[in-house]
A and B are shown apart, each in its own frame.
Chain A
């Protein structure tokens, strides 16, 4: 295959929305781009910055704390959200983690009962719960087991227009009740998984790269890379998600803490 193949990665709100090492998702995308012989071009856009959604191949947004989320919320519920929605309809790949995932939904109801509007790109609503859902999590997606770490107070419920990213094997997922985790709509991937999720799950990283390549170049053959280190880390993380689940069950039996939300 002749010629350089570039992929444009847009890191949206890199400072405001970076909880729990979510910038690692951008590092994973760029590193694997290079290892696959692609040329990554990373751009960053903060609040108010000009961001060219139409030209991007993959847009990445991390999780944020409440205050940051309010700032970003104002933008995503407005004009910028509308332009992002248009890019999504055009097939751009989006990875939205935790707080960003919530903000792409219809709205978020805070603990005080305030309703914050979202971008409305994903058909889902989120409500703040009484406590945080914290721990290692394992999720089944198309026969693969994703690992990550979740830490969120929001309980998300999907509408008919979004399908879940996967089923929770161990952990809480969207709301701790219905067994779903994350949401997918067109090429938008929303998830509660930190970890960060892409370095922990190279399969998912390559899947995003393949989707972006397919859209940009109409062809998406990626070679298999040597992922033995990642596989070893995944085994440890899986064990911990099993252990966290067992601990929650044990303490539920002792009647000290609820283990479903």
Chain B
């Protein structure tokens, strides 16, 4: 194990020097040298490990939990750059340990790719698994959604019965995974609302009762296919959440939400400030709070940990570039993009946008999802003053906006990000922010460009 640790740590240094960040390579090599390395490193944390998985919100939820852990005085091994395959997780522990393989942190906090959940459960001393949601995302990578659900379900099946799964009650596919688990082995979180919280969008995914194969009916839709659902035939319904948001106040672009949160037993009442916008971040905050509850962390750590939370790089971030304000908001799938459109529409003033669409492996190579985003609503309600379109698939984005009815005169196509950002900034009216909506790799590229110009830190320092 010693040599594996040394080789792994040296490789991490080397990767840094060569200029690529959170990487799978050191973990992969070290695991070759010592197959049980991860189990031996992770086993040293006295409070075990927490896994966070699901389609959307893994990184943000994990970061929120990290904030809470920090407030509770606990140190964590955390893969905050999003290296979430089993090799990347191994790299994360390699980086956290000392040269002789000693790990001093209290707990592991790992965002885990859906396909790696089973491996993570086998190798890590898991104390809780937090599951955010299942959206259709990157289908070209995993095949169909049910396959992804099956992968996570398999992982949960390997959990000892006394390790709780923290599940989103409002997502039928997530809640459905509780059935395979015994009584008391799950903790549900969700939103209690009296009316719909987001506008229904035309490409909403449909969810079916697993017994009757009929589409669920919704009393309330909170976000995408999330909400208070039931089967019209067998009466199967959303489980009652143990931790629920009972009041939500949402702000405009750059502003977060305020939540009233209550436990089902009524013994716990919290006021949470979530400094990130969008209904999806309300869910992320609830997931983090429920996880903190499972870990037995104090409530003031939850409140303060969330309130002082800063977004993961690029997911929602404010920068100044040459004296001009740049707001970066990650977009990676239709549901998230539609939320961003709703947020921009609440902003009032017609904004300048830079939309950067890449289709590299990490973004998903198929860009057809752009047609499931409600750009028709964006053109009608956000009424952008100017849109610069960029990225490897900027041409597809331009076509999408043309068919959504955006005037050709207020759109400019600049495939290269290094040219698009200066062009968009140059056209920006004084005192107004530029809203940048990049896919994952476009966001990395953009940040790297801004960093070279000396405006932001490298992402593993973030």
Contacts and interface: CB of A to CB of B under 8 A. Distances in A.
B372 A21 contact: yes
Contact of B139 (A20, A27, A199): A20
Interface string B398-426: 11101111000000010000000000000
B204 interface: yes
Contacts of B413: 229, 232
B140 A196 contact: no
Interface in A206-224: none
A249 interface: no
A199 B395 contact: no
Highest count of chain B CB atoms <10 Å: which of A16, A135, A230:
A230
Contacts of A229: 395, 398-399, 402, 413
A70 interface: yes
Contacts of B136: 19
B403 A31 contact: yes
Interface in B333-392: 359, 365-372, 376, 392
Interface string B202-230: 11101010000101000000000000000
B368 A194 contact: yes
Contacts of B399: 199-200, 229-230, 233
Contacts of B194: none
B403 A67 contact: no
A71 B400 CA distance: 30
A67 B216 CA distance: 14
A23 interface: yes
Contact of B368 (A16, A66, A70, A196): A196
Contacts of A153: 143
Interface in A1-54: 14-16, 18-24, 27-28, 31
Nearest to B411: A229
A28 B403 CA distance: 7
Contacts of B448: none
B396 interface: yes
A65 interface: yes
Given A21-B369, A151-B139, A194-B368, A66 B398 contact: no
Kindly name the residue among B145, B365, B366 whose own CB sees the greatest number of chain A CB atoms within 10 A: B366
Nearest to A14: B202
A136 B359 CA distance: 12
A15 B206 contact: yes
Contacts of A27: 371, 376, 403-404
B151 to A, nearest CB: 15
B410 to A, nearest CB: 14
Contacts of A240: 359, 365
A172 interface: no
B371 A24 contact: yes
Interface in B234-263: none
B154 interface: no
A71 B368 contact: no
A68 interface: yes
Contacts of A257: none
A144 interface: no
B304 interface: no
B146 interface: yes
A258 interface: no
Contact of B400 (A14, A66, A134, A199): A199
A236 B393 contact: yes
A136 B368 CA distance: 11
Contact of A67 (B202, B213, B396, B402): B213
A177 interface: no
B269 interface: no
Contacts of B199: none
Interface string B424-449: 00000000000000000000000000
A232 B395 contact: yes
A70 B399 CA distance: 33
A229 B411 CA distance: 11
B204 A21 contact: no
Nearest to A34: B405
Contact of B371 (A15, A67, A199): A199
Contacts of A105: none
A235 interface: yes
Interface string A56-89: 0000000001111011000000000000000000
B144 interface: yes
B368 A235 contact: no
Given A70-B213, A233-B399, A236-B395, A20 B144 contact: no
Nearest to A67: B208
B366 A23 contact: no
Given A20-B369, A229-B399, A232-B398, 5 more contacts: A15-B206, A21-B203, A23-B202, A149-B140, A199-B400
Interface of A: 14-16, 18-24, 27-28, 31, 65-68, 70-71, 132, 134-136, 149, 151, 153, 194-196, 199-200, 229-230, 232-233, 235-237, 240
Interface of B: 136, 139-140, 143-146, 202-204, 206, 208, 213, 215, 359, 365-372, 376, 392-393, 395-396, 398-400, 402-405, 413
17 contacts: A18-B203, A19-B136, A19-B139, A21-B368, A28-B403, A31-B405, A65-B145, A149-B368, A196-B371, A199-B400, A229-B395, A229-B413, A232-B398, A233-B393, A235-B395, A240-B359, A240-B365
**Which are the 4 A-B pairs with shortest beta-carbon distances?**
A21-B371, A24-B371, A21-B368, A233-B395
